[in-house]
Amino acid sequence: MMDCQLEDRKSAISPPQFATVLSGVRGAVTFDAPLAELTSLRIGGPADALIVPEDVPDVRRIVRQAATARLPLMVLGGTNLLVKDGGVRGLVLSLSKLAAVTREDERIVFAEAGVRLPTLLGYAVSQSLSGLEWAVGIPGTLGGAVVMNAGTKLGDVQNCLDAVQMVTPEGHVRTCAAADLAFSYRRVDLPEGVVVGARLRLTPASKKHLEASTKAYLQYRKHSQPLSQPNAGSVFKNPSGTTAGRLIEEAGLKGYRVGDAQVSAKHANFIVNLGRARATDMLLLIKKIQQDVFHRTGTMLELEWKVVGEG
């Protein structure tokens, strides 16, 4: 199904380019598509085109044709994303239909990139498999988690990743062993392309114990972090020897707000959307935090969020 009406604004895509890139695509395509409701912050302007591929062959076609047409392409999925108010030029992919999960053997689970982390964790627990407990309370997708090496104090993607399945710019499917990838804090150096799946190496464990431990950790996170409000996870990376949250709180910024963007009263390294926040509000608040912490401590906090789009 296609909605082919475009607003009168500058687009990165001309009609002939649209025709080239979308030729043969089976998934849903929406032009001038609002992105706010597709992000964990509930913020963001429209994409020139939002595509929801039907399956991996559809992704292969889209990626190959976008590369041929030299059009920018972005994949949604990570929770740590701030889309600017002017939206995103080019193509945006939602891999929500790539949601299959299969158990390959006693320890290996293969999951497509669009699987939501709560769903994947629930599957692992139902199969009596440990290794994904770090994902408790993270609302993003597996693909987004892989790209940013997502994690919590319990662990991260690197701890359980066996291999990544990707679609290259040429439209080929490539499998990259985790042992061949370079991981760092909230980052992994992946080849160019789109992550469409991952093989996870998990550990057999007591289902009863897993249910109890994940429930307890979720309660802890609900108590200490603003999980019930729109947010994009930790805003800043933790500096060496301390935490960003501590520095922000000591600067007196807990509860500080710009418009409807507010430093969380529960955890100072979270910024929440009180309802009508814009990306502009978020960026002004981020700048305020960085300046105040720097003037007080000499430490410049490094952003953990990914900011995309036009202002």
Residue 300, token pair as written in the block: 């410049």
pTM above 0.85, yes or no: yes
Q: Give the Cα separation of 168 and 193 in Å (integer).
A: 4
The pLDDT assigned to 17 comes to 74
The yes-or-no verdict on residue 4 having pLDDT over 60 is no
Mean pLDDT of the region 167-184:
96
The yes-or-no verdict on residue 152 having pLDDT over 90 is no
- Sorting pLDDT into bands at 50, 70 and 90, what band is 3? very low
The pLDDT assigned to 13 comes to 66
The yes-or-no verdict on residue 9 having pLDDT over 70 is no
The pLDDT assigned to 21 comes to 85
Q: What is the distance of C-alpha 177 from the center of its chain?
A: 21
- Sorting pLDDT into bands at 50, 70 and 90, what band is 10? low
The pLDDT assigned to 311 comes to 79
Which one is predicted more confidently, 223 or 7? 223
Question: HSE on the CB side for 41, CA within 13 Å?
Answer: 35
Minimal CA–CA distance to 275: which of 288, 290, 287, 257?
Answer: 257
Q: Give the Cα separation of 125 and 56 in Å (integer).
A: 26
**Average pLDDT in the chain:** 92
Residue with tokens 């093989």: 199
Under CATH, which number does the domain 101-223 receive? 3.30.465.10
Residue 212, token pair as written in the block: 């109890």
DSSP tag of 251: T
Catalytic residues: 186, 234, 304
Kindly provide the b/e burial profile for residues 140-157, where b requires at least 16 CB atoms within 10 angstroms of the residue's own CB: bbbbbbbbbbbbbeeebb
The yes-or-no verdict on residue 233 having pLDDT over 60 is yes
Helix residue spans in the chain (DSSP H): 15-22, 56-69, 117-126, 142-147, 157-160, 207-224, 244-250, 279-297
- Sorting pLDDT into bands at 50, 70 and 90, what band is 79? confident
Question: HSE on the CB side for 24, CA within 13 Å?
Answer: 13
- The matching CATH number, chosen from 3.90.78.10, 3.40.50.620, 2.60.120.650, 1.10.1130.10, for 226-308 is 3.90.78.10
- The matching CATH number, chosen from 3.30.43.10, 3.30.420.40, 3.30.70.1520, 3.30.360.10, for 2-93 is 3.30.43.10
Mean pLDDT of the region 72-86:
92
Mean pLDDT of the region 216-243:
94
Residue 59, token pair as written in the block: 């992704």
Mean pLDDT of the region 282-304:
97
Q: Give the Cα separation of 168 and 112 in Å (integer).
A: 16
Kindly provide the b/e burial profile for residues 234-252, where b requires at least 16 CB atoms within 10 angstroms of the residue's own CB: bbbbbbeeebbbebbbebe
The yes-or-no verdict on residue 195 having pLDDT over 80 is yes
- Sorting pLDDT into bands at 50, 70 and 90, what band is 18? confident
Mean pLDDT of the region 148-159:
90
The pLDDT assigned to 252 comes to 98
The pLDDT assigned to 12 comes to 61
Task: Answer yes or no: are the C-beta atoms of 92 and 109 closer than 8 Å.
Answer: no
Task: Answer yes or no: are the C-beta atoms of 125 and 214 closer than 8 Å.
Answer: yes
Mean pLDDT of the region 224-246:
94
The yes-or-no verdict on residue 287 having pLDDT over 80 is yes
Which residues on neighbouring strands pair with residue 109, listed in sequence order?
103, 200
Q: What is the distance of C-alpha 105 from the center of its chain?
A: 28
Q: Is 19 exposed, middle or buried (0-12, 13-18, 19+ CB in 10 A)?
A: exposed
- E strand segments, 97-246: 101-103, 108-112, 129-130, 151-152, 155-156, 161-167, 173-177, 182-184, 187-189, 194-201, 203-204
The domains of the chain are located at 2-93, 101-223, 226-308
